[in-house]
Amino acid sequence: MLMLAQLASLSFVQKIGKQHNHVLVVMPRAESLPEDLPGNLPGRETLQRTLARRKEKAASLARTPLCAAVDGALYVWAMDDPEAPRFARASHLRKAMQPLLDEGPERLCIAVLGTPEERAAAASLAAEIAWINGHPLPRMKGGAEDKAGKARAGRETKDKTPGPLRELALCGWRGDLAASEALALANTLARELTQLPQNILTPESYRKRIKKLARQEGWSHEEYDFARLEKMGAGAFTAVARGSQNGEAAIVHLSYKPKKSGKNTSCERIALVGKGICFDTGGLNLKAARWMLGMHEDMAGSAVALGLLLAASRLRLPLEIDAWFALARNHLSPQAYAQGDIVAAIDGTTIEVVHTDAEGRMALADTLCLAARQKPDLMVDFATLTGSMITALGTRYSGVFASDAALGAEAVAAGAASGERMSLFPLDEDYEEALESKVADIKQCTMEGEADHILAARFLRRFTGGHLWLHVDLAAANCKGGLGAVASDVTGFGVAWGLELLRKRLTR
């Protein structure tokens, strides 16, 4: 993560102004400002003249940030309303910061004004946005020879410009930014993994990355490889995994346990489950090219779960967290599962295969079974599971299903508070009538496709062991033009929401 300097005095801007060519000035909402702009406002004279030239008042900055040059430096002035919805605030400040980050600066100065509460709210959000968007995602750009050689070697490269943001100077407020930093780090990890193409992020290389991160962070690590899962009777996962080559598919289990001290020897146990299909062809029910493009992102759920585990452990949340990752590819193969197959999940439930492109729920079924055996207090799974959720919501919200109404309300509230908006969907029992099978305990899906996002959730619920459970269908994993605090199409959606949910559970 980049270097951070914090000073309570705005005079810091003037003192090092020559060192900073990129400055974001965040003011409170217009009604809390005096009639005249504050005397200590960085770039005040330029802002006044620019507003006058445009025949605008300072209040216009609440709608549209203003960008101008001050003594050769690029300044942006914007307003932040702490009482506005988190999503709206994040979107506004991200768009305000974009002209600065577009130039690829190594240093960025953020100055905040207003009451202590207003400055604290603006500083934490602006720093989070700078950290998230100041780190470029992996790209395969460079010289033609270099690009071809490294692609053949299966190593990602990064184009040299714009480079990462290395220094952040925060003026006008001093305080703890650990949560903002941890969230930005976790979101960036999730987006970096999701961005990687399937010839680089294979199930095998993904397993190596997870193992390396586990060593670095001190998490316990366990793998259930194909042979082990086959012996255990995990027929739902291995049905999909037969399309992967060389036995590369596996379910990976990580555990984080906080240090216990004094009388606080027990804490809530959370299970995070992520779909990690590194590429989805649709299997024998092959996708059309239009729908197969971008299917390297079908592992976004696992990346979100991994990022959330990283954020929680960096913040040392007093929770025991088990994270489970279902890693495979849904490929064509003579051994691949087919329509009409009947397989048994690890808990003995028999499943009639109806469509091979509904592989995510198959891989998650056995993974949820393993997670449920640990008897967690709460299970949360993340998956880019159904196209019907995108049809229902588009890509600006994600859908959530809850095992009870109170938990559903918690999930929606966490969406509003985090700026990652969630819509709660029904999970009524009568929907499952569509999944009744004449030859097995349950159908995997239906051919009609009606309400498939709800049917998928009903299917998954059977494997949760009756535990408190949330299912997140990540319709917003990729949103063209960015979403909320994130400027890239790949959003890392779910990390901020999950961290907010976990932190709120600690204060109940």
Joined tokens for residue 177: 């930014």
- Maximum Cα–Cα distance for the chain, whole Å? 77
Distance between CA 57 and CA 78 in Å, rounded?
12
Query: Between vectors from CA 446 to CA 444 and to CA 449, what angle results, nearest 5°?
Result: 125
Based on DSSP, count helices (H) and strands (E) in the chain, helices before strands. Answer: 16, 17
| Residue tagged 């379910």 (tokens) | 251
Find all residues with CB under 8 Å of 125, minimum gap 6, and list them.
Answer: 80, 89, 90, 93, 180, 485
Q: What is the CA radius of gyration of the chain?
A: 24
Distance between CA 115 and CA 278 in Å, rounded?
47
**DSSP-assigned beta bridge partners for residue 330:** 280
Joined tokens for residue 112: 């905040």
Joined tokens for residue 276: 């990690």
- Asked if 224 and 247 count as a contact pair (C-beta separation under 8 A), the reply is no
CA distance to 21, 105, 329, 359, per residue, from 97 (Å):
13, 11, 38, 40
Distance, C-alpha 66 to centroid of its chain: 30
**DSSP-assigned beta bridge partners for residue 398:** 422
DSSP state of 315: T
Sequence length of the chain is 508
Distance between CA 191 and CA 141 in Å, rounded?
18
Tell me how crowded residue 480 is: count the other CB atoms within 10 A of its CB: 7
Q: Is 314 a catalytic residue?
A: no
Distance between CA 377 and CA 321 in Å, rounded?
10
Distance between CA 25 and CA 416 in Å, rounded?
25
Using DSSP's 3-state secondary structure scheme, residue 266 falls into coil
Stated as kind and residue range, the H or E segment containing 471 is strand 469-473
Find all residues with CB under 8 Å of 268, minimum gap 6, and list them.
Answer: 319, 320, 377, 378, 505, 506
Q: Is 191 a catalytic residue?
A: no
- CA torsion sign for 294, 458, 244, 321 is positive
DSSP string, 358-378: -HHHHHHHHHHHHHHHT--SE
Using DSSP's 3-state secondary structure scheme, residue 15 falls into helix
Q: In what order do the strands lie in the sheet with 350-352?
A: 342-344, 350-352, 442-443
Catalytic residue among 287, 314, 396, 504: 287
Catalytic residue among 86, 361, 443, 503: 361
Query: Between vectors from CA 331 to CA 357 and to CA 222, what angle results, nearest 5°?
Result: 95
Catalytic residues: 287, 361
